[in-house]
C-alpha cells in the first residue's frame, strides 16, 4: 500500500432521526441517518406507506374488486 493516499479511519458517532445513536469507524467526521435498523419497517415489522399522490389507494381500489 502506498503511504499517504489512504483516508484515516476513526471512530464516529452515528445519529438517526429517531434518536438512536451508535459508534462505528469511518473516514467521515460525522454521520446523520434518516432511518436506521431500530426504526426501519423491515426490522420493526411495521409497515409505513407514504403516499402523497394516491397511488396506493388507486392500486387497492383497482385490485380489491377481484
End-to-end CA distance of the chain: 62
Establish if 1 belongs to a structural domain: no
Q: Report the Cα 31 to chain-centroid distance in Å.
A: 12
Establish if 23 belongs to a structural domain: yes
The dihedral region occupied by 18, where left means phi > 0, alpha psi between -120 and 50, and beta the remainder, is: alpha
What pLDDT is attached to residue 55? 81
Q: Give me the number of domains the chain comprises.
A: 1
Establish if 2 belongs to a structural domain: no
Domain that holds residue 40: 10-64
Establish if 3 belongs to a structural domain: no
Could you report the per-residue pLDDT of 1-35, keeping only the tens digit for each? 688 898 888 999 999 988 889 999 999 999 998 88
Which CATH number goes with the domain that contains 23?
A: 4.10.80.400
Amino acid at each position: 500500500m502506498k503511504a499517504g493516499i489512504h483516508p484515516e479511519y476513526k471512530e464516529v458517532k452515528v445519529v438517526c432521526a429517531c434518536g438512536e445513536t451508535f459508534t462505528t469507524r469511518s473516514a467521515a467526521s460525522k454521520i446523520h441517518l434518516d432511518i436506521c435498523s431500530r426504526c426501519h419497517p423491515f426490522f420493526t415489522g411495521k409497515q409505513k406507506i407514504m403516499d402523497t399522490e394516491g397511488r396506493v389507494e388507486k392500486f387497492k381500489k383497482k385490485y380489491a374488486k377481484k
